[in-house]
Amino acid sequence: MSDQSQPIVKPQPIVEVEDLWVWLRKRGREIPLVRGLSYTLRPAEALSIVGESGAGKSIGVRAALGLLDPRLFRVTGSSKLVGTDVLALTAKERARYVPSVAALVFQDPGRSLNPTMRVGDQIAEAFLKGSGYEPGMTRAKAEARALQLMKDVRIAAAEERFKAYPNQLSGGMKQRVVIAIAVACKPQVLFCDEPTSSLDVTTQAAIMDLIGELRDQTGIATVTITHDLALAASRARKVIVMYGGQVVEALPARLVATESAMPYTTALIEAVPDIDGNGTPPTPIEGMPPDPANLPSGCSFHPRCRFAQDDCLTNTPELRVVAPAHELRCFHPVKDLELQEASR
């Protein structure tokens, strides 16, 4: 993916994921969960990864961070974070390196904080014992910074909440604490795995705003996973659509509403109320996402595709560049079909 709208001299990429494959080891078999994922991210860039449940979004991110248990998963390809391929590091090196460059915000804030530790201590710990450490750090300094961070992420009554246990906070508050922890580690890239899907709508927007501000203020790059293509298109610069463990379309966010051409992407657009702005009621995508242990022949999406033709069943489409910064894995993109219809 190359984004032509960037200036000629581009800053060094912060994330370079290259042909990432993840297999689940299960009863002597290896089931592909992620198949050849690639993307590049530069400072202050925002990428969104979109797809239905089970598309391999979370596994893909965890693999890129070197978080997957090698006893359960086999990972190939490379994942360069700030120039170093974390998959080539030993477990020990990775445990030191990854937290120094990347942070992760989880899907379920109810599970991502230690229930037996006060939230203030959990943030301060990052300064005191984690990658937020600087020479001369003391407990008092760490706590003062943690408190300031809690205010920065707009936790009301931060002084009181500092001493609270996670279960005393609402879901949105917990997610703010998790973000504060992420920021405390001074990462260059922030991965957010459906950071708002367990929160109510107003809190969702507030959390997404917060992540956006962080990016603008600190120049951090963000990778945000979501189910919601509308959200992805409005909050990111690039959008990657995943289906059955593969990228099926990648394009600049501002072109999603008008240029997306993979039938799956357009189906996602129709499944979201009113992203295209023409007032049509949402149509959910029929059928089920594929089972990674039992993938369909040819194009993985063909059983659910309205435009599937014979070759979709037998031939496997490759990801190809169709326009600047626009990639597609489809033999019969929607645009072509529309053109054919128009010329008839």
- Is residue 185 within the footprint of other proteins (CB under 8 A)? yes
- Is residue 98 within the footprint of other proteins (CB under 8 A)? yes
Measuring CA to CA, which residue among 95, 87, 83, 80 is closest to residue 38?
80
Residue placing its CB nearer to ligand ATP in the complex, 31 or 323: 31
Residue 53's binding partner out of ligand ATP, other proteins, Mg ion, none, with CB under 5 to 8 Å set by partner kind: ligand ATP
* Size of the chain in residues: 344
When binding is defined by CB under 8 A, the residue of 96, 139, 163, 306 that contacts other proteins is 96
DSSP β-bridge partners for residue 49: 225, 240
Nearest-angstrom CA–CA distance, 126 and 129: 6
Q: Which of positions 58-77 make contact with ligand ATP (CB under 6 A)?
A: 58-59
Token pair belonging to 124? 């301060």
When binding is defined by CB under 8 A, the residue of 2, 5, 90, 116 that contacts other proteins is 116
- Is residue 57 within the footprint of ligand ATP (CB under 6 A)? yes
- Is residue 65 within the footprint of other proteins (CB under 8 A)? yes
Of 90-98, 147-155, 290-298, 321-329, the segment contacting other proteins by CB under 8 A is 90-98
DSSP string, 153-203: TT-TTHHHHHT--GGGS-HHHHHHHHHHHHHHT--SEEEEESTTTTS-HHH
- Is residue 298 within the footprint of ligand ATP (CB under 6 A)? no
When binding is defined by CB under 6 A, the residue of 292, 298, 317, 333 that contacts ligand ATP is 292
Provide the minimum distance between the beta carbon of 78 and ligand ATP in the complex, in angstroms, as a whole number: 19
CB-based contacts of 279, cutoff 8 Å, min separation 6: none
Nearest-angstrom CA–CA distance, 114 and 131: 18
- Is residue 323 within the footprint of other proteins (CB under 8 A)? no
Left, alpha or beta for 196 (phi > 0: left; psi -120 to 50: alpha)?
alpha
Of 54-62, 184-192, 265-273, 296-304, the segment contacting ligand ATP by CB under 6 A is 54-62
List Cα–Cα distances, 221 to 231, 244, 290, in angstroms: 17, 26, 31
Residue placing its CB nearer to ligand ATP in the complex, 33 or 299: 33
When binding is defined by CB under 5 A, the residue of 58, 204, 226, 265 that contacts Mg ion is 58
Q: Which of positions 12-31 make contact with ligand ATP (CB under 6 A)?
A: 24
Provide the minimum distance between the beta carbon of 86 and ligand ATP in the complex, in angstroms, as a whole number: 18
Q: Are 291 and 329 in contact (CB under 8 A)?
A: no
- Is residue 55 within the footprint of other proteins (CB under 8 A)? no
Residue placing its CB nearer to other proteins in the complex, 34 or 104: 104
Nearest-angstrom CA–CA distance, 344 and 333: 17
3-state secondary structure of 235: helix
> What are the residues binding Mg ion (CB under 5 A)?
58
Residues near ligand ATP, by CB under 6 A:
24, 33, 51, 53-59, 227, 292
